[in-house]
Each structure stands twice: as structure tokens, then as C-alpha cells.
Structure 1
């Protein structure tokens, strides 16, 4: 049995669901799950359809769908082939550990092709789990040279997404452009609060009662890309900065893995600076 996920975003109009399901049926595809959402303010339609059946002629199916959808519609036909990812790290291990352990036991929903770090401290851990580790020293290179080497490494592999697992470097617009829509970051704050460095100290000094973490797609605007998922935990006057950091790390792991699962299962649509997430 072949599985196919159909992802469509377009302007909203009457009869979309009827047209789409009619075409899928004509290609002998059986719909086993369908979710749709209409953004009424922007008159935009989004749907995720999971199908089974004989593998269709993909170009023909895509062409028929586009012909029967409004202008500028986007159609993606996704097979059940697993995603391939590269992971970028600095010094902190907690998010990387969650990713690599799940990768080891085939529960990540993707395959980790490599880990790239701007410090060498996580090499032993990655290599013990059979993952190639590449060290690129950011101190001995200018930013352009550093990023060029990182890109050269990533491009050795067929990578669908680049995951920033506590990669504490600001990426240039050129780097982001090269992997547009494919870079996922975990930020140690409940955005839009406490953007940038040291958010837990900022939270402590502000006296907040809730801290959190945010997984988002990376854009040229620092920590302002489309948000995939967020979680929070309560804190109080007993929490110093260290306690907030410790609690925050647990939230970061949960948020990042939740976001990756959603993305790897093709449940996330980007719409401007927002996302539509079909859980």
C-alpha cells in the first residue's frame, strides 16, 4: 500500500473540497484523513489530505489539481519517504541528545545525516551514535568564510531541513536564503518576549511567573520567524537564574521535538509570518 500526503494552499472559493476530492478519486486514491482550514480574513484555504492507493503519475496529478484550483495555488505531493536533516550545535547537549537518541531508535521521523558544531565538545557523543560530526571554528574565520564551510558540509548530504539545536550563532541573510523555509530553531524564550541572548536572566530580572520556549522557522528577522509550537512552565520567587535555566532546558527539548514531529509529518503550512498547524 502506497501512502501519499497532498498539501494544498490557495485562495478560498466555493467548491474547492469537491474539486480536490473528485480528482483524487479519479486517480484511485482513497482519502484516510483530511484536515482543512480557511483563513477568512485573508480568504486563504489550506488542506492536508492523507491518501492510500496505487502510486499515481505525480506530474499528471499535480497538473490536474493546479488546473482546478485558483491562480497561484501551491500543491505538494509528499510520499512516505523519510526526511533527511543536518543538525547545527554549539556547546549545549540537551536538544542534540534528544534528537540523536530518537534517531538511534528510529522514532525521530527523520534521519540525521550529520552534526555540525562551532565547538568540538559534542563530537564524541555524536560519533558514539554513528553520526558524522564536523567542527568549524568560528573564531578563526570571518562570518562569510565560516558559513561557506558550514554550507559546504551540509550540501554533501541530501538534506530536507537544517535544525538549530542550540546553535548560538546569528545566521546571515545569504545563509537563510539558501535554506529558505528549511531552517528550524529552538529559542529559549516564549516569543515575542525576551528576544536575543540571555532570556532566562531577562525573565528573572523581570520577575515573570511563566517561562517557555519557542520553535520557529528562521528568517532574516532575529527570533521573529513563523512560530511552529510553544510551551511554558510556571516559576516563582524561589527560582534563580540557574533554576530557570534548568527548567527551561526541559521545555526546550519538548518544544523542539514537538515541532520537528509536526514538520516531518508535513503538518505545518507557513502563511506569511504565521503557521497553520494540523495536529
Structure 2
């Protein structure tokens, strides 16, 4: 017996749930969990179906195609541990949280490698016996630097890349290599305070909440599809440094929760938005 997740994204029309579950029943599959959503403004139907049984993937998908409208995307994904490569600069809080949760089973993930443009976090990686690769950007063009990283990433064939406070803007070439597979944590409640020094920006505006946003990376700075957000209250007595300190707790929490959603196949990307089941 296997467990797999069927993700369906197609034009909406009457009877889709009945048609899809009927195909699953005809294949002798048990539906463990089913969630659906219709975006009426776009006329789009989304469904996540967790299945158990014996699978003939090719035949199942072929039968599903017979009942779906022409404008469709569908995929069948095995449940199980996913592999990630983490990219870092100097801040330890997000990486440390991921390492601890992966080690103790809070995240069902294999951290295959860590890449940093400084060696600051190598001792932390060493404590968990995770390979650490320092790829300095000094003396290299952005493209040269990224090609070295891509060569390392290719060795591990990860399902996702996680930017755990990686503080360099990625080129379109790099992003296109991993479409909807790069997860970033932004130290602000997007779309507010994009770019550099968001806590300084927030302090200057006298905000009463601060937050963090985990999103997929695209070619627009800090504007990729949002996966998870959270906020905490603050007040006028906080300095910019105190806002940043409090924000780090939100950042690591939001990143790990977003990664968990992605690993569980609970996230569907469409356009520049997500459906999160």
C-alpha cells in the first residue's frame, strides 16, 4: 500500500469532484483526505486529494485527463521525505531552527547540504554533520557566483531550495532553473517594506505590528507567491534593533511552517498567488 497526493488545477465546471473521486474509486484507491477550492473570479478549480492504495500512475492520470476540461494541470506526488538545500549568509536563527526540527522530526525533510557566501555558519552545520559549502562572491560576477552554486546544488538534486536569510538577489537565470522550488523568508509582512532594512523602515513608520513572509522566489524582488505570514504586536517603545530581535522569532517560525506546508503538498501555485489547503 502506498500513499500519494493528487493535485488538480483546472477550469471550473459542474461535477468535477464527483468525476475525480469516481476515477479514484474505479482504481480501487481510498481517499484519506480531500480539500477543494473554487476561485470564482478566475473560474478556476483546485483540489488536493490524499490517496491510499496500489497505484498505476500512468493509467490513473490518463483516466483523470479524460474527465477534466482542456485547461488543466494535474500531478500525482508520492508522500515521503523531501530533500532540500539551504542557502545562507551570516544569520543563524532560521538555519538553526530548520536543523533542529529536521533532526528531531519536527520537519519530515532531509537537509542535504548548506551553501553560504561566508563561512560564518559552518560550525553550526558541522554540529549536525551537514555538508557546508562556502562559495564566496568576492571577485566573481553574479553569474559566475551562481554557476558555482548551481554545480553544487546539482550534486544533491534537491526537491526545494530554502533561502534561510540568504542576503543576495538571485538572477533570472538562477530562478528559472528552479521554478516554484525556491522558498524565501522575508523579514517583513509583505507587501510592506520590501527590499533592504525593513525593520528600520518599519520603525520609521511607527508600526504597531511586525511580521514575516515566506514566499516562492520569482524575478520580482520580494513579490513571489506568498505561502505563509504571521505578525506580532509592538509599540512605540521598541527601537529598530528591538524590532529586529523580536522579528527573528517570527521569521524562523514562518519559514518552518511554510516549508512544512510545501513538503506536505498543501500548496498550489497559480499566477502570482497560492492556494494553501
**Same fold per TM (> 0.5)?**
yes
Displacement after TM superposition at 1:140 (Å)? 2.2
What is aligned with 1:155?
Answer: 154
What is aligned with 1:186?
Answer: 185
Is 1:23 the counterpart of 2:32? The answer is no
Q: Is the contact made by 2:214 and 2:228 (CA closer than 8 Å) also made in structure 1?
A: yes
Summarize deviations over 1:107-165 as a string: whole Å, max 9, x none: 21211100000000111110220100000001121111100001001010121100000
What is aligned with 1:48?
Answer: 48
Is 1:14 the counterpart of 2:6? The answer is no
Provide the secondary structure at the position in 2 that maps to 1:140: coil
Whole-Å separation in 1 of the counterparts to 2:208 and 2:105: 37
Summarize deviations over 1:37-61 as a string: whole Å, max 9, x none: 000010000000111112x110111
Displacement after TM superposition at 1:66 (Å)? 1.2
Structure 1 stretches lacking a partner, 5+ long: none
Whole-Å separation in 2 of the counterparts to 1:62 and 1:107: 32
Q: How does 1:88-167 map to 2 (within 5 A)?
A: 88-167=87-166
Whole-Å separation in 1 of the counterparts to 2:275 and 2:228: 11
What is aligned with 1:197?
Answer: 196
Q: What is the root-mean-square deviation of aligned Cα atoms in Å?
A: 0.8
Whole-Å separation in 1 of the counterparts to 2:51 and 2:60: 13
What is aligned with 2:260?
Answer: 261
Whole-Å separation in 1 of the counterparts to 2:115 and 2:8: 33
Whole-Å separation in 2 of the counterparts to 1:109 and 1:40: 34
Displacement after TM superposition at 1:81 (Å)? 2.6
What is aligned with 2:231?
Answer: 232
Count matched residues. Answer: 277
Whole-Å separation in 1 of the counterparts to 2:98 and 2:139: 29
What is aligned with 2:37?
Answer: 37
Summarize deviations over 1:157-204 as a string: whole Å, max 9, x none: 121100000000000000000011100000000000000000000000
Whole-Å separation in 2 of the counterparts to 1:243 and 1:66: 54
TM-score, structure 1 as length reference: 0.98
Provide the secondary structure at the position in 1 that maps to 2:155: coil
Is 1:85 the counterpart of 2:84? The answer is yes
Whole-Å separation in 1 of the counterparts to 2:73 and 2:66: 11
Summarize deviations over 1:52-83 as a string: whole Å, max 9, x none: 112x1101111111121011311111112311
